[in-house]
Amino acid sequence: MTKILAIETSCDETAAAVVEDGYHIHSNVVASQVDIHRRYGGIFPEVASRQHILALPTVIQDALSGAGADWKDLDAVAVTYGPGLAGSLLVGVNAAKGIALSLGLPLIGVNHLAGHLYSNWLKTNHEVPVPSFPSVCLIVSGGHTELVLVRGHLDYQVLGRTLDDAAGEAFDKVARLMGLDYPGGPAIQAAAEKGNAKAFELPRARLRGTFDFSFSGLKTAVLRIVQRYMNTIQSPANTAVIQLPLHSLPVANLAASFQMAVVDVLVEKTCEAAKHFDAAEILIAGGVSANASLRHEMTARADRPVRVPPLFLCTDNAAMIGAVAHHLFLAGECARQDLDVIPNLRLDENTKS
Ligand code: KG4
Ligand code: ZN
């Protein structure tokens, strides 16, 4: 039995959790900074790291008391050391080092992307068995879009990734273009509910023969449409000039068409990879896996079982970091006190210490 205190500060959520044996969540505390960053229309890195410094001590204390645990009950301290914002990662890593050193506990460095993947191992219902191997996992977040073959615990092969924007980044940027709120994913999902996904014909980059993704062409296509509605439009005969304000933009239809273009490609590629590698099941993870249309379409179109994490485990949290840490701990993959942050850490480099 292992009880791990996990800390996650890679982006704009300050989080701590106590997780037992890699699946049992004793506590999972997340202090979101979203209301602060909304003012800037995106994440302001310096503000994010300052905010982590302010929030982390209370978040850790709340995670311990929420778990009914004491410092002496812990077997290890785990922390995200990449990928993410350098200044944000540093706050968590330094806190974890301090706690591990003062309590004489092992320190475990965790890859944030592995964390998202392992959100599928956290049990909120003990009737449900853990995922089977091999599985194919689509990790879709604000900074990453990766298709991963999971052969066993800590044994991953990245099959493809985005060549430009991450899926979540595309949601955030397109929402901004359309005058919607930050973060863009939930805002687009809400707007799309009243829209027609066939209203606009938008491009889908299929990149045949690869498991890679690209969303920049789609984003530019939306930009052109928005510009068309914002700009001065001349009538065909050039006799009159019509000025259309942004509020004339058919937001619901454009949001629905954009969302379906992203979902189509994500689902198609994931199902192809699952078939190619004969995966026992398909997993999805990361902030964008909270998207209702993605969850629905993946389940409807896949020819094998699809596992989606509960909504509270899709976006950044520390329980998922504790889930990976359990397996690193069992494998003896502990970090040293000179553990440093790696802002561009890749999933294939997971177990560096
Ligand atoms: O995993 P996450 O919390 O942080 C990163 O590691 O990046 O993902 C955040 C991303 C944001 O881009 C946000 O717009 C997107 O996840 N997101 C969604 C939804 N909820 C969050 N995208 C689409 N639909 C949603 N319902
Ligand atoms: Zn994340």
Are 254 and 298 in a shared domain?
Answer: yes
Are 224 and 105 in a shared domain?
Answer: no
The pLDDT of residue 223 is above 50 = yes
Q: Is residue 12 situated within a structural domain?
A: yes
**Average pLDDT of the residues in 223-227:** 92
* pLDDT interval class at 230 (50, 70, 90): confident
Tell me, what's the pLDDT at 140?
Answer: 98
Q: Is residue 280 situated within a structural domain?
A: yes
Per DSSP, the residues of 150-207 read EEETTEEEEEEEBSSS-HHHHHHHHHHHTTPPSSHHHHHHHHHTTS-TTSS-------
The pLDDT of residue 60 is above 70 = yes
Q: Is residue 47 situated within a structural domain?
A: yes
Q: Is residue 266 situated within a structural domain?
A: yes
Tell me, what's the pLDDT at 248?
Answer: 82
Give the number of whichever ligand sits closest to the CA of residue 8: 2
Q: Partners of 147 in the beta sheet? A: 138, 160
Q: Is residue 341 situated within a structural domain?
A: yes
**Average pLDDT of the residues in 311-334:** 98
State in Å: Cα 143 to ligand 1 middle.
9
Are 194 and 296 in a shared domain?
Answer: yes
Are 72 and 87 in a shared domain?
Answer: yes
| Environment of ion ligand 2 (residues, CB < 5 A) | 141, 316
* pLDDT interval class at 62 (50, 70, 90): very high
Q: Is residue 71 situated within a structural domain?
A: yes
Query: Which of 118, 169, 315, when mutated, tests ligand 1's pocket best, judged by the most ligand atoms within 8 Å of its CB?
Result: 315
Are 144 and 280 in a shared domain?
Answer: yes
Q: Over the chain, what is the mean pLDDT?
A: 93
Which protein residue's CA is at the shortest distance from atom 10 of ligand 1?
A: 142
pLDDT in tens, 162-188: 999 999 999 999 999 999 999 999 999
Which protein residues are within 6 Å of ligand 1, measured from CB? 11, 141-143, 168, 171-172, 183-186, 189, 286-288, 290-291, 315-316
State in Å: Cα 308 to ligand 1 middle.
14
Are 69 and 186 in a shared domain?
Answer: no
| Residue 100 neighbours by CB under 8 Å, 6+ apart | 76, 77, 106, 107, 337
Give the number of whichever ligand sits closest to the CA of residue 169: 1
Which protein residue's CA is at the shortest distance from atom 1 of ligand 1?
A: 287
Instruction: Tally Cβ neighbours within 10 Å of residue 35.
Output: 8
Are 115 and 53 in a shared domain?
Answer: yes
| pTM across the whole model | 0.93
Per DSSP, the residues of 62-106 read HHHHHTT--GGG-SEEEEEEESS-HHHHHHHHHHHHHHHHHHT--
Are 147 and 287 in a shared domain?
Answer: yes
Closest ligand 1 atom, residue 175 Cα: 14
Euclidean distance between CA atoms 213 and 106, whole angstroms: 38
Q: What is the CA radius of gyration of the chain?
A: 21
Q: Which residue has the tokens 């990361």?
A: 286
* pLDDT interval class at 240 (50, 70, 90): low
Are 249 and 323 in a shared domain?
Answer: no
Are 172 and 77 in a shared domain?
Answer: no
Which protein residue's CA is at the shortest distance from atom 16 of ligand 1?
A: 287
Q: Which residue has the tokens 């990449």?
A: 82
Percent of the chain with pLDDT strictly greater than 70: 94
Q: Is residue 130 situated within a structural domain?
A: no
Q: How many domains does the chain have?
A: 2
Parent domain of 221? 135-309
Q: Return the closest-CA partner of residue 6 out of 104, 106, 132.
A: 106
Where residue 209 sits, what CATH number does that domain have?
A: 3.30.420.40
**Average pLDDT of the residues in 195-221:** 97
**Average pLDDT of the residues in 200-227:** 96
